[in-house]
Structure 1
Amino acid sequence: MQPLFHGILLGFGLILPLGVQNIFIFNQGANQRKLSHALPAVVTAAICDTLLICLAITGVSVVIFSFEWLKTSLFLVGFFFLSYMGWVMWKAAPETGSTHQRSPLSIRRQIAFAASVSLLNPHAILDTIGVIGTSSLLYVDQEKWMFAAAVIAVSWIWFMALAIVGRKLGEFDHNGVLFKRINQVSALIIWFMAIYILSQIF
């Protein structure tokens, strides 16, 4: 049971801090007209986390990121994509007092943006490789995958919970102010992360 509890505690420890990924999922829960409409973002983020965790557990990610040009290219793409994403989120902010002007992201954009904040986020990548990958070295065979399953389960549960909380808070917004502020805060955090990524390149 130790690998299971270790994975759960580590998963929550890494995913709880406020970041681009969490902000985006919360944003979708709040902005979509129904909770089910935010599922593309939730599922995409969870699948991306699952992929990164599996790559870290098997050691593949360490090999991939040993190529400096590949890491630089990934961060550069991340900078431009997150910059664009922040602009879209800021522009999508509805006017105060106009609940009919909400512009929730389409399924395609939700998937693209959720994948970008998951796979092009240096914090997520480094946490997965450096922390989860290293911690998994304590276990072998079945215990290693029990540890991985626990971390993965935390991601799925957490993202769904974020979307639910966002939707509940969004239900109290009758004049559009909350939606506008959520979109703007999301855009600012995303732009900050884009600048951080660019700084890592140089």
Structure 2
Amino acid sequence: MLPSAYFAGLGTGAGLIVAIGAQNAFVLRQGLQRLHVGAVVLVCVLADVVLIALGVAGMGLAVKQQPGLLQLLRFVGAAFLAAYGLLAARRAWRGESGLRPADAAANGRGRTVLACLGFTLLNPHVYLDTVVLLGSLSTHYDGGGRWSFAAGAGTGSLLWFTALGYGARLLLPVFRSPAAWRVFDVLVAILMWGLAVVLLSQPMA
């Protein structure tokens, strides 16, 4: 393994993933609720690793040559984000606490995994960031260096989602208050709607 390529991948991958987005907000909420955190973290990390590997293997050009697919994902993803924003707004309006036992019963593992896949795979920017951008950057290295770069980027994903999902419990004293959940859900609703608008207003390159 080439250390310089590995750490370059780690830094670049972490920089792309840490940016606040719909997926991170979802992982944070699951971590605060302590519901299916392992499954959510695993889905996020595996998705990133697979997409990064595809990019390093040379699939970036193929993605760029499919503007129709990216446009479809753009509209479907915007609708998905808008709908989730409505759900968050409804929770905020009702003043629902995310720590209520009823929430745990309503959100099974399968439903949670499907929602996580939606946040991950219905965002066309995830393909541009992982497959296209990281795949292109990996070409700066020869041979095994490309896969060292990929391993570093995958490690960045693993570290971030593990910290976000399991570290969220440190905020539990704050979120024992229904008012804190109301504020959180208002911010989530605004974030989701804002991201939906961004998807619709910025055509894929």
Tell whether the structures are fold-level matches, with TM greater than 0.5. Answer: yes
Partners of 1:174 and 1:159 lie apart in 2 by 23
- Asked whether the 8 Å contact 1:27–1:186 carries over to 2, the reply is no
How far apart are residue 100 of structure 1 and its match? 3.5
Structure 2 equivalent of residue 167 of structure 1 = 169
- Structure 2: any 5+ residue segments left out of the alignment? none
With the length of structure 1 as denominator, give the TM-score of the two structures. Answer: 0.85
* Amino acid across the alignment from 1:42: V
What SS class does the counterpart of residue 198 from structure 1 fall into? Answer: helix
* Amino acid across the alignment from 1:103: D
What SS class does the counterpart of residue 138 from structure 1 fall into? Answer: coil
Structure 1 equivalent of residue 103 of structure 2 = 103
How far apart are residue 151 of structure 1 and its match? 0.6
Question: Number of residue pairs matched?
Answer: 199
Structure 1 equivalent of residue 187 of structure 2 = 185
Which has the higher mean CA deviation after the structures are superposed, 154-163 or 66-75? 66-75
Partners of 1:98 and 1:38 lie apart in 2 by 14
- Asked whether the 8 Å contact 2:55–2:131 carries over to 1, the reply is yes
Partners of 2:97 and 2:185 lie apart in 1 by 15
* Amino acid across the alignment from 2:47: C
Q: Deviations over 1:94-127 (max 9, x none)?
A: 6278963762543223212222222222433222
Structure 2 equivalent of residue 120 of structure 1 = 122
Root-mean-square deviation (Å): 2.4
- Asked whether the 8 Å contact 1:92–1:103 carries over to 2, the reply is no
Percent identical: 29
- Asked whether the 8 Å contact 1:46–1:156 carries over to 2, the reply is yes
Structure 2 equivalent of residue 56 of structure 1 = 55
Which has the higher mean CA deviation after the structures are superposed, 48-57 or 103-112? 103-112
- Structure 1: any 5+ residue segments left out of the alignment? none
Partners of 2:98 and 2:144 lie apart in 1 by 54
Which has the higher mean CA deviation after the structures are superposed, 85-94 or 112-121? 85-94
How far apart are residue 5 of structure 1 and its match? 1.4
